[in-house]
Amino acid sequence: MSPVELVNGVTNVAGQPTSFKTRPLFWSIRRELWENRSIYIGPLAVAAVVLAGIFIGALRLPDRAFQMIAALAPAKQVEAMSIPYDFAAFAILVTGFIVAVFYSLGALQGERRDRSILFWKSLPVSDLTTVIAKAAIPLVVIPVVSFAIILATLLIIMLASLIILPLRGMPVTMLLSAFPIGSTTLDIVYTLVVLALWHAPIWAWLMLVSGWARRATFLWAFGPPLALSLFEKLAFNSTYVWSLLHYRVTGAIGQAYDLKDGASGMGHLSLQQMDPLKYLMSPGLWLGLAVAAAFFAAAVWQRRYRTPL
């Protein structure tokens, strides 16, 4: 029996390989989850802190504050009631972004630093599969984890509000207007997909630096773009590089939603503001994905020849 048969399946009594196949990509992703628990611990910890802060703040609010909310126009009431939900979702999204940054910076350098790359290269798992598995963490896994945690957090806030609001003399119908479960779930999924695709070149760049730099990956990843931006400002008094960096980090929402004020922040967004056609027709999206593909390809190539530190 050949080594390939040993890897791809087991044999039956007649000595023929069965249809059982290994799943190198699946187990490579599982490996990343086992070795990087911050992928879900970080957002969970922030969600717990946010929930504790919201609950304590709600209990300490005077009755007069609730009366002022009840006296507002219906549209303003919805905006006021949506603040805890928007804040919780935004905090978890930012945490997921930070976790993805630090994960990508250590994705390829970590295995070189602890010399585990020698073991992983001895397995019949290609460099392409390894890099795809690592890229799947910020592109797929962290958004899925963020979605689950955000939705659970918002549901907990809603259930707690169902108890707190009647005690403060406010109708629960206000709560249902501020947190429509169906549209909110769709909005969260849409936002996470938009951000994952838009930030793809960021994760690809960080992973490329992770596989190339011997140390100080954070400095190598962020130093050159910031230095180039500073040089451009001092030499030509222009900010094209800085604008490009800012656009890549924060421009997704402005492209994916129809914002009347042109803002790109993460305020209260609704289904009526979604503009997927505008997002899909954005040159920034497709240029970013092309750059991401080039960076990921370079990361695969360099992992093939990288040695332990």
* Range with the largest mean pLDDT of 64-73, 180-189, 191-200: 191-200
pLDDT digits (tens, 9 = 90+) for 14-55: 455 444 466 888 888 888 888 889 899 999 999 999 999 988
Among residues 144, 98, 36, 39, the alpha carbon closest in space to that of 249 is found at 98
Q: How many domains does the chain have?
A: 1
In this predicted structure, what is the pLDDT of residue 118?
66
**Three-state secondary structure string covering the chain:** CCHHHHHHCCECCCCCECCCCCCHHHHHHHHHHHHCCHHHHHHHHHHHHHHHHHHHHHHHCCHHHHHHHHCCCHHHHHHHHHHHHHHHHHHHHHHHHHHHHHHHHHCCHHHHHCCCHHHHHHCCCCHHHHHHHHHHHHHHHHHHHHHHHHHHHHHHHHHHHHHHHHHCCCCCHHHHHHCCHHHHHHHHHHHHHHHHHHCHHHHHHHHHHHHHCCCCHHHHHHHHHHHHHHHHHHHHCCCHHHHHHHHHHHCHHHHHECCCCCCCCCCCCCHHHECHHHHHCCHHHHHHHHHHHHHHHHHHHHHHHCCCC
Residues shown for the chain: 309
In this predicted structure, what is the pLDDT of residue 290?
96
In a domain, 127, yes or no: yes
In a domain, 209, yes or no: yes
- For the entire predicted model, the pTM comes to 0.83
Cα radius of gyration rounded to whole Å, the chain: 24
**Whole-number mean pLDDT of the chain?**
81
Range with lowest mean pLDDT among 40-54, 175-189, 216-230, 250-264: 250-264
In a domain, 9, yes or no: no
In a domain, 1, yes or no: no
Among residues 115, 175, 174, 142, the alpha carbon closest in space to that of 39 is found at 142
As a whole-number percent, the residues of the chain with pLDDT over 70 amount to 75
Q: Judge contact between 8 and 21, C-beta under 8 A.
A: yes
In a domain, 10, yes or no: no
Range with lowest mean pLDDT among 12-26, 153-167, 193-207: 12-26
In a domain, 8, yes or no: no
Range of the domain at 230: 23-305
Does position 12 have pLDDT exceeding 60, yes or no? Answer: no
| Rounded to 5°, angle at Cα 150 from 154 and 56 | 50
Range with lowest mean pLDDT among 8-12, 121-125, 187-191, 245-249: 8-12
Mean pLDDT of 83-104: 92
- Looking at per-residue confidence, does 4 or 120 come out higher? 120
pLDDT band with cut points at 50, 70 and 90 for residue 169: low
In a domain, 226, yes or no: yes
Mean pLDDT of 251-273: 69
Range with lowest mean pLDDT among 98-107, 211-220, 225-234: 211-220
In a domain, 167, yes or no: yes
| Maximum Cα–Cα distance across the chain | 81
pLDDT digits (tens, 9 = 90+) for 106-144: 888 777 776 777 666 677 778 788 889 999 999 999 999
